[in-house]
Structure 1
Amino acid sequence: MKSWTEAAFVMAAVMAAGAAQAETRLTYKSAKTGTSYYQMAVELAEGVKAASNGELVMTVEESQGSVQNVMEVRARGADYIFTAPPSLVQASQEGSGPFDGKSSPQFSEVRSLFPIPSLTMHFVLAGAEGATSLDALEGQNILLGKGSFGATEGEKYLDLFGMTDKVTIADAELSNAVDALKNGQIDGFVTAGSFPAPNVIEAAASQPVRLLSMTDDQIAQTGQARVVIPADVYPGQAGDITTTGLPVVAFTTTAMDDDTAYQLTKAFWMQREKMAGNAPWWKGVTPDQVAALSALHPGAARYYEEAGVAVAE
């Protein structure tokens, strides 16, 4: 009996060790809780675990923003995955912008894995009838908000297209946009987020609104990527909306081994279609976007080669 018990104990220990060895734990740093990007992180973690049969387990960590995500590269290890716009990673490597005077050799070790939904510009006006071009902003009282990418980009567009003096900018926080629109305090608002954006859904569900489209020439002038919001994403939206977006990518570093990066990238694309069926924002992610990713992790590059997905030179 004693011999049998000892053997069972040893066998259980071996099995536990094998299970622990088979499971790779990762940390995914994304955004503040309550945001669409944090919800995406949760969906992604669940999808990756399912696609890898539990071999890849991601813990989602709250973040104060992309700058923090990039900064933490300096102190993180092989398990670290984070999201950020590629332009911000480039700024870290150049020591410019928010990274001025804070450069680090670790920034040069950042590598791309796969794209996630873009930070998409939304121009929302009250009323379903009327013009749907940016000219419709003229003479309107518009809420831009303060400090966010959407506010900065919206202000830039007004200046770029000679509309700064033709629009009244409301002095309020973007969090008040939907209530202010309902009460007639503003005529519209500008916001940036993955679509469908919760505040735009709320606005469209409570009253008739329309989203404005940009021309290809206007998009080219902004220097941002062209993004199409498909028809019927929002209540009352009959056609596609053409606008701009800031690409966002899931990154890691060269510290992550090739096999883990390969399995993670494969798991993401295996689950993308299923995730898109549950959350429409994943519909905006396609293999075509991979060609724009620079400095791919070798493990991710191996997956794309096997899958026949075009990558950057």
Structure 2
Amino acid sequence: MTTLAKSLLTAIAATALGITAVSAETRITYKSAKTGSSYYQMGVELSEALKAGTDGAVIVTVEESQGSVQNVMEAKARGADYVFTTPPALVGLAQKGAAMFEGKGDPKFDEIRALFPIPSLTMHFVMSADSGTTDLVGLEGKTVLLGKGSFGATEGEKYLELFGLTDKVKIADAELSNAVAALKNGQIDGFVTAGSWPAPNVIEAAASTPVTILSMTEDQIAASKRTKLVIPAGTYAGQDADITTTSLPVVAYATSAMDDDTAYQLTKTFWQSKEKLGGTSPWWNGVDQDLMVNIEGKVHPGAARYYEEAGIALTDAQK
């Protein structure tokens, strides 16, 4: 065999190996949240964990989103590589063509399938210790910063109305980004924020000035029609007891277009990487098997295979 022939064979073999390597690589688009948000950062952390946990077999590209409604809407046009995050309730509304999805229904919404839960949006009512406020009723007469346009702001307004406090609380006209400084300087008595726990702005507030993070009663939680969540004692500086509050569960979804093996690999790698994720960012420590009950609708068959192997029971509605 001539030197030229050997070189050609070597080149062909190398090309074939390259094609095999590429075909073995799974590429996923992860539709998350706005750049700079905690949920976008979670997406980045998750993409890194999936790449490391699969030795590079899964490559995740994190894509910015304007919100959960957009994420759900795009499910009807995306392919098998699409993973997105949203509260389960929005999936149910999309499938019914209700609320913000009225007139926008599509049969493809029925093909949305859950993979695994991610940190929940958790309500925090953060009050300065000097305010003397220890419960929601104690908000009367206080100055509170809600922020604007966020889930936390909308939810905070809802709770004030729900518990008869709308005209009894002074709402500070400022952005939530100014909350910690305003609290420390005594310009406000407290602020309301929603995000994964532990929330960075609450950590900062508790570290810079004595605060009380309010708990809600069982009746208040029931009236809110949100999911109960307990933030363990010691999560924030000076927090000696559990905080009972409300949350909005958030789940990572795909569609039935995703093949079972990919869904299985994504789900298995997530749960196997969760401890390491929590070591990097504590908000992942708020995710455990107990959050599985918050998944409404069906779990992807590939993900269900992992849950069966792991001994994690699914409800009949999830199968």
Quickly name the TM-score band, shorter chain normalised: over 0.9
Evaluate the alpha carbon distance shift between residue 20 and residue 101 of structure 1 in structure 2; reply closer, same or farther with a 3 A threshold: same
Match in the other structure for 1:132 = 134
Contact 1:143/1:174, CA 8 A, preserved across alignment: yes
Runs of 5+ consecutive residues of structure 2 not aligned to the other structure: none
Question: Which of 104, 115, 118 is equivalent to 1:116?
Answer: 118
How big is each residue's C-alpha offset from its partner over 1:35-66, in whole Å with a ceiling of 9 and x where there is no partner? 11111111111111111121111111111111
Q: Name which of structure 1's ranges 169-178 and 276-285 shifts more when overlaid on structure 2.
A: 169-178
Question: Which of residues 184, 196, 208 in structure 2 aligns to 1:206?
Answer: 208
CA contact (8 A) 1:144 1:154 kept: yes
Aligned residues: 313
Q: 1:249 aligns to what?
A: 251
TM-score, with structure 2 as normaliser: 0.94
Structure 1 length normalisation: TM-score?
0.95
Q: Cα RMSD over matched residues? A: 1.5
Paired with 1:236 and 1:14, the residues of 2 have a C-alpha distance of 61
CA–CA separation in structure 1 for the residues paired with 2:293 and 2:18: 41
Separation in 2, partners of 1:237, 1:207: 12
Equivalent in 258, 272, 275 of residue 273 of structure 1: 275
Q: Which runs of structure 1 show a deviation greater than 6 angstroms over 4 or more consecutive aligned residues?
A: none
Residue 208 of structure 1: CA displacement? 1.6
User: How much does 1:196 deviate?
Assistant: 1.8
Could you report, residue by residue, the CA deviation over 1:12-57 in whole angstroms, capped at 9, with x for unpaired residues? 1111111111110000010111111111111111111111121111
Q: What is the alpha-carbon distance in structure 2 between the residues aligned to residue 131 and residue 150 of structure 1?
A: 19
**Secondary structure of 2:193's aligned partner:** strand
Aligned equivalents of 1:82, 1:8: Cα separation in 2: 42
Q: Identical aligned pairs, as a percentage? A: 65
Mapped partners of 1:139, 1:249: distance in 2: 38
- Answer yes or no: is 1:264 the counterpart of 2:255: no
Task: Give the deviation of 1:244 after TM superposition.
Answer: 0.5
Distance 1:43 1:87 in 2: 25
Shift of residue 128 of structure 1? 6.6
Counterpart contact for 1:291–1:310, Cα < 8 Å: no
| Structure-2 change in CA distance of 1:238 and 1:128 (3 Å) | farther
After the TM superposition, which residues 212-251 of structure 1 pair with which residues of structure 2 at under 5 Å, given as runs?
A: 212-251=214-253
1:131 Cα shift?
4.6
Unaligned 5+ runs, structure 1: none
**Pairwise CA distance, 1:228:** 1.3
